[in-house]
Amino acid sequence: MTPIDIVIRSAVAEDVPLILSYIRELADYEKLSSAVVADEATLHETLFGEYPAAEILLAHVDGAPAGFALFFHNYSTFLGRPGLYLEDLFVRPDFRGHGVGRTLLARLAALAVERNCGRFEWSVLDWNEPAQDFYSKLGARPMDDWTLWRMDGQALINLAEETS
């Protein structure tokens, strides 16, 4: 295999169009395209505004955009330390199998260690066996005793209205 040059850098506001394209490509892969309502204005505000909600690393291979990782901090009360949560990892199909995903995850692991995080976590769709195999080979393990719960849409609004 020909060696490639993988460069990882933090995203800046000017990267929002690229970030949105990655989000849409990821949604296509996950068969969730209709769920994407994010637009450039929303991403500018929520990622690069006064209170950034997440951080993004971008991967380039030989100068070409290859993938991204969007992450944020959570907190473990049991550990008394922050954690790093990976919301999205996406590598464009042409760059898969060349170490891009592994390089992004290694950079995130290094950030977690530098920031004194007690753990590094993410979720994987049940049907995404290639991702599960990839993560297992890195030493990650599924948390079988936990079920992800979500509240959104009208249920979220209804519960919030109970405080008024």
Report the pLDDT value the prediction gives residue 111, as an integer from 0 to 100: 97
Report the pLDDT value the prediction gives residue 146, as an integer from 0 to 100: 86
Instruction: Please classify residue 126 by burial: count the beta carbons closer than 10 Å to its beta carbon, then call 0-12 exposed, 13-18 middle and 19+ buried.
Output: exposed
Domain count, the chain: 1
The answer to the question of residue 103 being in a domain is: yes
Domain hosting residue 21, numbered range: 6-161
Check which CATH number belongs to the domain holding 52 and give it: 3.40.630.30
Q: Which residues contact 48 (CB under 8 A, 6 or more apart)?
A: 12, 13, 16
pLDDT in tens, the chain (164 residues): 555 899 999 999 999 999 999 999 999 999 999 999 999 999 999 999 999 999 999 999 999 999 999 999 999 999 999 999 999 999 999 999 999 999 999 999 999 999 999 999 999 989 989 999 999 999 999 998 888 888 888 999 999 999 87
The answer to the question of residue 1 being in a domain is: no
pTM for the predicted model, two decimal places? 0.91
The answer to the question of residue 128 being in a domain is: yes
- The active-site residue out of 22, 29, 51, 135 is 135
The answer to the question of residue 18 being in a domain is: yes
The answer to the question of residue 46 being in a domain is: yes
Catalytic site includes residue 135: yes
Report the pLDDT value the prediction gives residue 3, as an integer from 0 to 100: 59
Strand partners, 135: none
